[in-house]
Amino acid sequence: MSRRIGFFILAFGLVIGLFEGCSTLPSLENRSVSTALVDTDTTRLGRAISSAVAAHPGQSGLYPLPDSRDAFAARMLLARAAERSLDVQYYIWRKDRSGTLLFEALHAAAERGVRVRLLLDDNNTAGLDPTLAALDAHPNIEVRLFNPFVIRKPRLIGYLTDFSRLNRRMHNKSFTADNQATIIGGRNVGDEYFDAAEGTVFVDLDVMAVGPIVEDVSNDFDRYWASGSSYPVGLLLPPADPARLEQLASQASLVERDPAAAAYMAAIRQLPFVRELTEGRLALEWAPARMVSDDPAKALGRAESDELLPHQMNEIIGEPARDVELVSAYFVPTAAGVESFAGMAERGVNVTILTNSLEATDVAAVHAGYAKRRKPLLQAGITLYELRRLSPRTNRRAGLPGSSGSSASSLHAKTFSVDGSRVFIGSFNFDPRSAKLNTEMGFVIDSPALARNISTAFDSRIPANSYQVRLSNNGQLYWTEHRSGEWVRHDAEPGTSFWLRAGIRLLSALPIEWLL
């Protein structure tokens, strides 16, 4: 028996060694060089915003996109309006209705002569290789993969042979047209992010921006595009099938003719947001805004601490004086974070936090990292809300966090306000993964108006759609919710089974917090 075990160990070692020999990344020596196009003032987008930008020197025009369908429509409209360039960067891009339609929107733009640069993190591109290779084969489209898997199938082999690199991902999201307008925030590309799916729909937040902040996003895109982790797909994928682009157009046409998708697109066309944007009547919030972003070298473990997003945010925001209102889909504060929030509370700062409940989260392991910190946070005077999975219908345009009316809502937004005057919107979760492993980006905006939107949500919509976590007199957690005009108390995590809760307790005891 021991001889047989030794044989299997030897064989496994040989297989892993073979894969390691086949998993060397290609050289980037002859990679093409390109940068954001700057001479775009005379494009349709440039002409449309020039007078408003000139009237607000030093400020950017901002429009929050809490509504999922507005967020999809905004991307489609920017893709269709672009005349010179589209620079697009995402962590996830699904091969579903919305993903197919947006791929075809990029293809259609390229057919008009628009230069398209598409940068995708490679962690979630399984099944997309033929489409990405076909897009890249177009003379006006270049596709790059960030931190790629050399062995395309099975990707598990990559994690076994190169875990320290592949565990670091590009979580940034941006969609920039003609270096004139951009969208950044929490949403990836997929039906669940745009309220186009049955089942779970993510409550999320993006912001569309024009003005000087757009150049900052374009420069940051260039940084990632030219980084040592950004690989042209031609170095990784087999040559494209020439018919694949025609198939993509056909797939998009079939998607649009599908009754469910047709109804969705018809609803998109009727959105007030679409009319206001296309007619130049969209009311923007003009405010000073700064972009914060990790150095892409973070993906290789080579970035200095002062080049990371948390350090940049601390420098811009400083010490809160009155209140912090934080929304984070994945909230793992760690012992250091608890100490920081407790210190704020001791100074008289009111700290209120919204994250997912166990029944609503899509990553149970992350909830385990948060769950063990609830008691010390509550003992420090922090107010905790957890979004319910079953949320009542709320006003679509009321702002974050609202529900789309889906029976399975899960929080995916990442935003916070400080002292009723400054707001962060971006991709950064308050967890060790965002802080130390993944690259992230976002805007810090000096806007009392946007800060009031978050405060209003915490005053009304969040309590109506969430559980509040509390501590009993004997130090036990319980949850309250307002339902049918009455307050209901739960002494165990609502909507969960004994076995799920037991699993979370087990995960909480494991030394995995640094991975979450």
Determine the Cα–Cα distance for residues 209 and 382; give it in Å rounded to an integer.
33
Determine the Cα–Cα distance for residues 239 and 220; give it in Å rounded to an integer.
30
Q: 423-461 burial, b if ≥16 CB within 10 A, otherwise e?
A: bbbbbbbbbbbbbebbbbbbbbbebeebbbbbbebbeeb
Residue 352, H or E segment: strand 350-356
Phi and psi based region of residue 145 (left: phi greater than 0; alpha: psi -120 to 50; beta: remaining): beta
Number of Cβ within 10 Å of residue 363's Cβ equals 14
Q: Which two tokens stand for residue 347?
A: 């100074």
Q: What residues are labeled active site?
A: 171, 173, 178, 412, 414, 419
Q: Which two tokens stand for residue 118?
A: 């598409």
Determine the Cα–Cα distance for residues 219 and 221; give it in Å rounded to an integer.
5
The residue whose two tokens read 């916070």 is 416
Instruction: Please classify residue 5 by burial: count the beta carbons closer than 10 Å to its beta carbon, then call 0-12 exposed, 13-18 middle and 19+ buried.
Output: exposed
Q: Which two tokens stand for residue 231?
A: 């690989």
**In Å, how far are 144, 229, 231, 239, 313 from 28, measured between CA atoms?**
12, 10, 7, 18, 32
Closest to 417 (Cα-Cα) out of 443, 381, 387: 443
Determine the Cα–Cα distance for residues 449 and 446; give it in Å rounded to an integer.
9
For 122-221, where are the E strands, in sequence order?
A: 141-146, 174-177, 181-185, 201-203, 206-210
